Amino acid sequence: MKAIILAGGIGTRLRPLSCTRPKLLFPILNKPLLDWTFERLAETGVDGVTLAVKYMAEVFMQRYGESTHGMKLSYSKEKKPMRTGGAIKYAEEFIGHEEPFLVLNGDIFSTIDYTALLKKHKESNAVATIALYRVEDPSRYGTVKLTENSQVTQFIEKAPLGQAPSNLINAGVYVLDPKIFNYIPAGQPVSIEHEVFPKLAKEGKLFGHEFKEIWIDIGKPADYLRANRILLDAEPKKRFLGKDVNVEEGAQISDPVRVDAGVNVGQNSRIGPYAVIGRDVVLGRNVTLENSVVFPEATISDNASVRGAVIGEGTTIGRGAEISEGCVIGDYVTIRDNVTISRDVTVCPSKEVTENVPEHKRII
C-alpha cells in the first residue's frame, strides 16, 4: 500500500519556530513528528510514501533521502501552492491507479489504526473514507452528518459554532480510491475539503470511520505543548533520561519528563512535571522548568524559570530571567539576565531581548 503525506504547509500559526524548520519536523518527545508518522505507516505495511512538499522541501529531502523505515520515499514538489486536493492530484504519478491509498495531513499526531480505516473503506465500496474524531468544539474543522451505515451525507468545512451537523470532525486521515483523481482538475489549486468531499457526499460515495485513539492537531503552540503532555502521560516509562545526562547534586526531577542525550541539570534545579528537554541542553543552578519543551542546544542559566513555554534551538535564557506561560522563543534568541517575559509573547529567531516585556506582543 502507498501513502501521501501532505507536507507543504508553511506553519504560520507555529511561528517563530516554523521560520527555521518545517512544522512536520517539530520534535514530539524529542523525535520529529514526521518520524512518528513514518514508524506507524511502516508498522501498517505501507511500502511507499510520497511527501507532497513545497515550503523547505530541501530539508525533507536532505534528512530522509530516498527511503526511511524500510519504505521507499518520493517527493512531489509543487511549483505553486496547490492546496490539499491539488497536492493529491500532483502526486498521481507516484501513486498510480492500482489500489486504494492513504492520505495524511502531516501536522496531525494520531495513533489511529490505519488497517481498520482501510477495512471500512473496502467494505463500503467508497471513493473516499474519512477518519472521524469526536471533539467538543468542531468549529475549527470540517464536520459531517453520518448515517447508521457510516455514509457521509453532508460535509461542511469549518461551520460556525453551533451550526455544525455533528461533533465528528475530519481528522485529516483518508483512504482514497484512485477514482478520486477524476474529481480533481489538474494544474490548479483545489481544496479536497471544500470542493471534492461535498460533491462525493452528494453522490453517496463518501464514508466515515470514527476512531477513539489519540488524535492531536499540532497547528498552534498550545496544541504542540499539549501533544507532548499527552504523550508523556501515555508513555509507560514516566522518566526517560538519555545517554550522558548529568544531574547534579540537589536537583529534583518530577515525572513525567523526557530528557535527551548530553543534557546537564545544575544543582538544586527543579525539572518537571511535563518537561521535554532536547539534546545537549544546559540547565544552570536553581533553574525551574515545567510544562515546557526545550529544543536542542539551548541554555537556561542560573536561577531562571521557564513555565508553560517553548524554547527554540540554541537559545540562551539569562540568569534570573523568567519566561511565562504561552511564550514561544525562536531559535538562537538571547534573553538577557533578569529579564521577565510576560504571557503569550513570541520572539523571532536570533533576536536579543534586553528589557522586560510586560504585555503580549511579538518581537520581530
Predicted TM-score of the model (pTM): 0.87
Mean pLDDT score, 52-69 = 83
**Is residue 65 predicted with pLDDT exceeding 90?**
no
Per residue in 310-352, pLDDT (tens digit) is: 999 999 999 999 999 999 999 999 999 999 999 999 999 999 9
Q: Which of 9, 40, 43 is nearest to 26 (CA)?
A: 9
104-120 as b/e: b if 16+ CB within 10 A: bbbbbbbebebeebbeb
What percent of the chain has pLDDT above 90? 54
Out of 72, 119, 145, 158, the active site residue is 158
**Is residue 309 predicted with pLDDT exceeding 90?**
yes
What lies within 8 Å, CB to CB, of 156 at 6+ separation is 142, 143, 144, 164, 165, 198
Q: Model confidence at 362, in pLDDT bands (50, 70, 90)?
A: confident
Per residue in 94-134, pLDDT (tens digit) is: 888 889 999 998 888 999 999 999 999 988 889 999 999 98
Q: What confidence score (pLDDT) does residue 71 get?
A: 92
- Which residue, chain included where needed, has cell 502531516? 106
Report the SS3 class of residue 349.
coil
Mean pLDDT score, 224-243 = 88
Q: What confidence score (pLDDT) does residue 257 get?
A: 95
Q: What confidence score (pLDDT) does residue 167 get?
A: 77
Q: What confidence score (pLDDT) does residue 121 get?
A: 92
259 by Cβ neighbours in 10 Å (0-12 / 13-18 / 19+) ranks as: buried
Please say whether the beta carbons of 352 and 334 come within 8 A. Answer: yes
In angstroms, what CA-CA distances link 228 with 33, 107, 294? 11, 14, 11
What percent of the chain has pLDDT above 70? 98
What span, in angstroms and rounded, lies between the C-alpha atoms of 294 and 127? 43
Q: Model confidence at 9, in pLDDT bands (50, 70, 90)?
A: low
Q: What confidence score (pLDDT) does residue 10 get?
A: 65
Confirm whether 158 is a catalytic residue.
Answer: yes
Q: Which of 170, 68, 174 is nearest to 114 (CA)?
A: 174
Q: What is the DSSP letter of 235?
A: -
Mean pLDDT of the chain: 89
**What's the CA angle centered on 261, arms 340 and 108, to 5 degrees?**
75
Mean pLDDT score, 244-261 = 94
What is the Cα 177 distance to its own chain's centre? 26
Report the SS3 class of residue 41.
helix
**Is residue 247 predicted with pLDDT exceeding 70?**
yes
Q: Model confidence at 274, in pLDDT bands (50, 70, 90)?
A: very high
Mean pLDDT score, 300-311 = 96
81-100 as b/e: b if 16+ CB within 10 A: ebbbbbbbbbbbebbeeeeb
Q: Delineate the domains of the chain, giving CATH numbers in brackets.
A: 2-220 (3.90.550.10), 235-363 (2.160.10.10)
